Amino acid sequence: MKFSGCYRWSRLILIILSFALGAVSVWATDDVIALKAHRLFDGRSKSLVPNGVVIVQGNKIIDVGSNLGIPGDARVIDLGDATLAPGFMDAHTHLTLDYSSDYNVRRLNELDLNVSEQAIIATTHARSTVEAGFTTVRDLGSRFVGSREFVDVALRNSINKGVVVGPRMLVATKGIGATGGHFDPTSGFRDFLFGREPDYTDGIVDSPDDARKAVRFEVKNGADVIKAAVSGGVLSLVDEVDTPQLTPAEMAALVDESHRLRKKVAVHCHGDEAAREAIEAGVDSIEHGSFMKPETLTRMKNKGVFLTPTLMASEWIMHKLENYPPALQAKAKAATLARSDMFRNAVKIGVKISFGTDAAVFPHGQNAREFKLMVDLGMQPIEALRSATANNAELLGIAQKTGTLEKGKLADIIAMPGDPSADITATEQVFFVMKEGKIIRNGPPSVHVGAEETGPAKTAAPVD
Ligand SMILES: [Zn+2]
């Protein structure tokens, strides 16, 4: 009796567990799964193919194509009138930062909340992001004033261990910048409120040697990529948006040290002068780039430097302008006005474009809304899709293992309804997500993403 009671209980627990796991994720086994849909985008081609099939075994794609034969032992998942695509990548997120619709509330929260609590909140951002179809992110900066914690490194490692559900993360730790610049965490506060001036351990540098030391310190602590602010920014209180903030010598040292350690460099930059200097210094991508002139964009194209436009960030700020202090409102207006022309020029000139949003400036999980903004400003839908897949895999240095649907690549696969090359907003309706062979979502998301914060109406006219 005792035994059978115990057996019944353990069976019940098993059933409950399998339901719970079913709702969250189905772990990869070596079983063969065949995904079918009416269309397929492989990540690099110029068009979609009909009757797409992807065959997955374990964590890899073992075959992919149009009208493929399906192995007899495969579990077939037919997604119907949908498009299969590689998992999207966002090259500019801040998963560890919490969104708040009010600038000052956010600023106070960052000082108020325990860093452990912020780390726990960040796990929900990771889940919203991957459930929206973003299986990889380049997370460009995580900083908690007065804290020594590397929350982005901890989040990345927890996701890699399977403890937290989220996208593959390449993390930058603390953005590197100048005293009083966009990344100075004490700017705008009373002098010495935090007890000391920030230094290289906070990412703040004032010489080439400092820049080198900061890079070494960040790589030592787990950075996959280096982020620096070479010009002012919109959401910083005491700088002008387009002034240069690191000298050419500081940039050269920073890029040299990063590349020696085989890390790429992404720079926050709105101003044209700072962009020209950063391109000469050899950076790998320019983030935002609002005021870049056509000549600068041509130089970028010739040197193969990527532009990560983050249109979503300025779009969001412009539609919530009253939530920001007056000084920031003026900077946002100027940057947004300039960035639309800059982006159109970049597309015309043929600069390599990497899809990136600046998620945290808007609620996490709404990343795909960037696609429509890109298309509205002149990019072909298929090029926008490539920017979030093959282009980003190239920029992130992970093209060998993911970014396209190809034999031997990791099984990072998503599906969206209809045809995104005909209606790009299909990207906002991703309903199936597989990461490394594990099904994270097949149907409605587990959380209601940004339920109260839907931001600018989808039919709104472009901001410019
Ligand atoms: Zn950012």
Q: What is the pLDDT of residues 218-256, one digit of tens each?
A: 999 999 999 999 998 887 877 888 888 999 999 999 999
Work out the average pLDDT over 56-83.
96
pTM above 0.85, yes or no: yes
Work out the average pLDDT over 19-47.
77
pLDDT for 453: 53
> What angle, rounded to 10 degrees, do the helices at 248-260 and 208-220 form?
30
Mean pLDDT of the chain: 90
Instruction: Output the CA–CA distances (angstroms, integers) from residue 345 to 91, 305, 415, in the order listed.
Output: 21, 15, 31
Place 447 in a pLDDT band, splitting at 50, 70 and 90: low
What distance in Å separates the CA atoms of residue 310 and residue 312, rounded to the nearest whole number? 5
The rounded Å distance from CA 141 to ligand 1 centre is: 7
* Contact criterion met (CB below 8 Å) for 85 and 390: no
Q: At 14, which helix (H) or strand (E)? A: helix 2-24
The rounded Å distance from CA 426 to ligand 1 centre is: 25
What distance in Å separates the CA atoms of residue 421 and residue 371, rounded to the nearest whole number? 11
pLDDT for 24: 44
| Report for 84-98, 311-325, 326-340: range of highest mean pLDDT | 84-98
The rounded Å distance from CA 14 to ligand 1 centre is: 43
pLDDT for 451: 42
Of 227, 303, 216, nearest to 260 by C-alpha is 216
What distance in Å separates the CA atoms of residue 377 and residue 353, rounded to the nearest whole number? 13
Place 270 in a pLDDT band, splitting at 50, 70 and 90: very high
* Contact criterion met (CB below 8 Å) for 209 and 253: yes
The rounded Å distance from CA 336 to ligand 1 centre is: 15
* 75 has pLDDT over 70: yes
* Contact criterion met (CB below 8 Å) for 54 and 64: yes
Of 376, 393, 308, nearest to 346 by C-alpha is 308
The rounded Å distance from CA 283 to ligand 1 centre is: 16
In one letter, which amino acid is 143? R
The rounded Å distance from CA 260 to ligand 1 centre is: 24
* 12 has pLDDT over 70: no
Give the dihedral of Cα atoms 362, 366, 367, 373; nearest 10 deg: -90
The rounded Å distance from CA 86 to ligand 1 centre is: 24
Which residues line ion ligand 1, judged by CB < 5 Å? 358
pLDDT for 203: 97
Q: For the chain, first and last CA: distance in Å?
A: 75
The rounded Å distance from CA 317 to ligand 1 centre is: 13
- The share of the chain scoring above pLDDT 70, in percent, equals 90
The residues pairing with 151 across neighbouring beta strands, listed in sequence order, are none
What distance in Å separates the CA atoms of residue 29 and residue 59, rounded to the nearest whole number? 8
* 20 has pLDDT over 80: no
- The share of the chain scoring above pLDDT 90, in percent, equals 74
The rounded Å distance from CA 142 to ligand 1 centre is: 10
242-259 per-residue burial string, b: 16 or more CB within 10 A, e: under 16: bebbbbbebbbbbbbbbb
pLDDT for 14: 43
What distance in Å separates the CA atoms of residue 76 and residue 36, rounded to the nearest whole number? 7
The rounded Å distance from CA 196 to ligand 1 centre is: 25
Task: Name, in order, each residue with C-beta under 8 angstroms of 173's C-beta and a sequence gap of 6 or more.
Answer: 141, 142, 150, 152, 153, 203, 218, 221, 222, 223
The rounded Å distance from CA 350 to ligand 1 centre is: 24
What distance in Å separates the CA atoms of residue 370 and residue 191, rounded to the nearest whole number? 38
In one letter, which amino acid is 118? Q
The rounded Å distance from CA 409 to ligand 1 centre is: 29
Q: Where are the alpha helices (DSSP H) in 161-293?
A: 208-220, 248-260, 272-281
Work out the average pLDDT over 101-111.
83
The residues pairing with 354 across neighbouring beta strands, listed in sequence order, are none
The rounded Å distance from CA 256 to ligand 1 centre is: 22
Place 323 in a pLDDT band, splitting at 50, 70 and 90: confident
In one letter, which amino acid is 313? A
Tokens matching residue 121: 């909140």
List phi, psi (to 5°) of 78. Answer: -95, 115
Low-confidence winner among 186-200, 271-285, 337-351 (lowest mean pLDDT): 186-200
The rounded Å distance from CA 94 to ligand 1 centre is: 7
Work out the average pLDDT over 421-443.
97
pLDDT for 235: 79
The rounded Å distance from CA 97 to ligand 1 centre is: 10
Place 15 in a pLDDT band, splitting at 50, 70 and 90: very low
134-168 per-residue burial string, b: 16 or more CB within 10 A, e: under 16: bbbbbbbbbbbeeeeebbbbbbbebbeeeebbbbb
pLDDT for 100: 81
Of 211, 219, 215, nearest to 245 by C-alpha is 211
**53 CB neighbour count, 10 Å cutoff:** 22
What distance in Å separates the CA atoms of residue 357 and residue 363, rounded to the nearest whole number? 11
* 460 has pLDDT over 70: no
pLDDT for 29: 58
The rounded Å distance from CA 233 to ligand 1 centre is: 10
The rounded Å distance from CA 57 to ligand 1 centre is: 36
The rounded Å distance from CA 458 to ligand 1 centre is: 23
The rounded Å distance from CA 287 to ligand 1 centre is: 8
Q: Please give the DSSP secondary-structure letter assigned to residue 462.
A: P
The rounded Å distance from CA 133 to ligand 1 centre is: 20
* 21 has pLDDT over 80: no
The rounded Å distance from CA 177 to ligand 1 centre is: 13
What distance in Å separates the CA atoms of residue 247 and residue 259, rounded to the nearest whole number? 18
* 450 has pLDDT over 70: no
pLDDT for 43: 96
The rounded Å distance from CA 16 to ligand 1 centre is: 41
